[in-house]
Each structure stands twice: as C-alpha cells, then as structure tokens.
Amino acid sequence: MRTQVAIIGGGPAGLLLGQLLHKAGIDNVVIERQTGDYVQSRIRAGVLEQVTMDLLARAGVDARARTEGLPHGGIELLFKGARHRIDMRGLTDGKQVTVYGQTEVTRDLMQARSAAGLTTIYCASQVSLHDFDSHRPRVRYEKNGQTHEIECDFIAGCDGYHGVSRASVPASALHVYEKVYPFGWLGVLADVPPVSHELIYANTERGFALCSMRSESRSRYYVQVPTEERVENWSDEAFWNELRSRLDPEARERLVTGPSIEKSIAPLRSFVAEPMRFGSLFLAGDAAHIVPPTGAKGLNLATADVGYLSRALEIFYGDKSASALDRYSDVCLRRVWKAERFSWWFTSLMHRFPESGEFGQKIQEAELDYLVHSHAASTSLAENYVGLPLEVF
C-alpha cells in the first residue's frame, strides 16, 4: 500500500489529523492496534479549549459538539470551605471552554472518517516503523496472520505514551523530562446530574477533589488518593462519602449520588520528550508529552499538535516548502512547555502533598486567597485555562 501520511494511532489525535489532512486533499491511512469499539469506549477528558473547537470545525466534525456540548465561561475554586468563581469569559474577552466528552469527539471523528471512505486499519499487531531517517519511510504490521507494508512520505506518531512511535526512536536521540506525583485521582462516572453547572476545583485538608460533568445528566467526580491506593478498596458508598467530606455545605446538600458506570485510579505525571521530529517521523499528543489532568490540557495539547502538523503538511504539499515542517517541533514545544508549567502550577496549588504538612496547606490557602482577589492573578489563570492561541506558520 502507498499513502502520503501514515498515522499511527486511531484515537482522537490520529483521527483528527486524518480528517484535517483529508480536507486538505492529502491522502492518509490510520493504523490502530485495538478494535474500533475499544477505541470508542475509552473514558477520557471532557474539557475542550476554543482552539480544539476551532480545529474540529476546520475538520468538519464540530456540529454535535456545538449542539450537545456545554459552554463554560467560568470555574469555581473551593478552599477553606467556600467557593470563589473565576470569570474566564469576562477575563479573556469572551473566551470559554466546552464540556464535551473525549468519547464523543472520537465517535464524531470515526463516523466522519467512515463516511468519507478513508482507510483505517484496526487490530494491527506487531506495528513497526522503518527508514524514517530517509525520504522513503515504511510501516509494517500484521493482521489476520499476514504481514503488510505501507510506503509513505511521512509518519505521524499519534499512538500515545506506550505506543511504538516514540519507542522506535533511538534513546540517544531523545531528551526526556519527567516528574511523577505522589498521588493519583480516583474517578467515578455516574448518571447523576452535576452538583454545579460549572467545574468545582477543591483544595481541602483531606486532599483535592474535582466536580466535573459530561452532560446535564452524567457527572464525573474525582478525589485525590495515595499512589498505592487500589480501586478495589473503594465501594461507591465510600467514594461518595469521601467526596461529600471535601465539598462546601451547599454542594454537599446538592450532591446526587448513584451507581458508578466506571471507576478507576489515574496516576499523575508530567512528561516531555524532545524533539518531536525525527526525519520523516513526527510525534504528536501523548506520544511526546503527558500533563497531569488538573489543567485539562492533555487532549487539547494533542489537538494543537495535529493542528500544527496538518498545516505544515499542507504547506509542504501545496507550496513545495519544508519550512513549516522544519519548525514543527520547536513551535509545538513552546506551547507544550507553557501548558506543562500551568498544569504543574495548578496541580501544586490544589493538591495536598505528603511532605508539606500544615504549613504547606496554609501557603496554598494564602495563594488561593490572593488568586481569587487579584485581577491580574485571576486573568493569568483564566488565560491559561481557556487555552493559549496557536502560532501561525
């Protein structure tokens, strides 16, 4: 098989890149090791920046997100038993975020790709990347007991942290930065109405909590737990009791509980691999960087990467110029590190750290008090939360 761009990974980043390239008339094939049903069922993020919404529109897959998504113009910070609203829309000249589950984004992209008759290879095993240091890269994979090969101009590695793309790069060519946090998030998804119409980020002496949602009838809640904690130790009742203990009186009163649809513990880490280009191989999304979920940047960084990459490939094929491709890694990493900084700062501000004790809790509360009463500090938080703009090639 021959294509212009071979995309490794059929999650939202790979699918969005494929759709953007298709709209630009650039042939592409998506190679995914899991089944389509598995990819579509993964429970992930749900807060989309304006940049992501704009890229979905460019790809022609934003209709349902705009109809069913929940626009949010603010967030609430809870500390010392009281909530304080950050007016993101007012502080950023009308910018906002949209709550729309990653599973729904994936479904929209999969349906659009299928309707366009584009090639997606599911259940591809033993995927391997070859000659990406040349002008004739190739991707091999096995399916139904047979080995297949795809010749291409470029390979886009959108296959996540554990994927084959970054693992194919010689270790000597990578510079890896990593921070692992001493806690995780115990998350519950339930078909209950949200406790508030906007997200609540809670800093408490018992630890962090987040009240989020996927729709007006489906909620996503999290509590901070130690890294060694096991999900099997948490009944639904135990989770709801712990969440309730970390909320303010009004939220406790409004909290509706119910059986969990999904329950899991997510570890928190910050990770960046530099650079993001190796000859004809370009890394995007979690293949190149991970952020703690506190700032809601993971999916949004991935969409920004593929937005840059799709535009650079448009310039390459349209203008016969490799200048934008040559800048891809540097442009992406400038935005990545700003998001890493914000996610690290927000995580450090909202969570209880084992070594910080009562002094650390008081420092956090003092900073939060300054944050909600300072226009400049509130504006900085709002600007970063709604998402920094994309650079123009």
Active site residues: 72, 201, 293, 297, 385
Interatomic CA distance for residues 221 and 187, integer angstroms: 6
Give burial (CB, 10 Å; 0-12/13-18/19+) of 379: middle
Q: Which element (helix H / strand E) includes 41?
A: helix 36-41
What's the N-to-C CA distance of the chain in angstroms? Answer: 31
Interatomic CA distance for residues 218 and 240, integer angstroms: 15
Whole-number Cα distances in Å, 91 to 209, 357, 379, 381: 25, 33, 5, 9
Radius of gyration of the chain (CA): 21
Interatomic CA distance for residues 348 and 343, integer angstroms: 8
Residue 63 — left, alpha, or beta (φ > 0 → left; ψ -120 to 50 → alpha)? alpha
User: Please, are residues 99 and 214 in contact by the beta-carbon 8 Å criterion?
Assistant: yes
Interatomic CA distance for residues 113 and 133, integer angstroms: 29
Q: Which residues pair with 220 in a beta bridge?
A: 189, 212
User: Please, are residues 336 and 301 in contact by the beta-carbon 8 Å criterion?
Assistant: yes
Q: Which element (helix H / strand E) includes 298?
A: helix 298-319
Give the pairing of strands 277-278 and 260-274. unpaired
Contacts of 63 (CB under 8 A, 6+ apart): none
Interatomic CA distance for residues 291 and 49, integer angstroms: 15
Q: What is the dihedral of CA 49, 154, 140, 113, to 10 degrees?
A: 40
Under DSSP, the state recorded for 134 is S
Q: Which element (helix H / strand E) includes 53?
A: helix 50-58
- Which pair of tokens denotes residue 166? 């970054």
Residue owning tokens 């900084």? 341
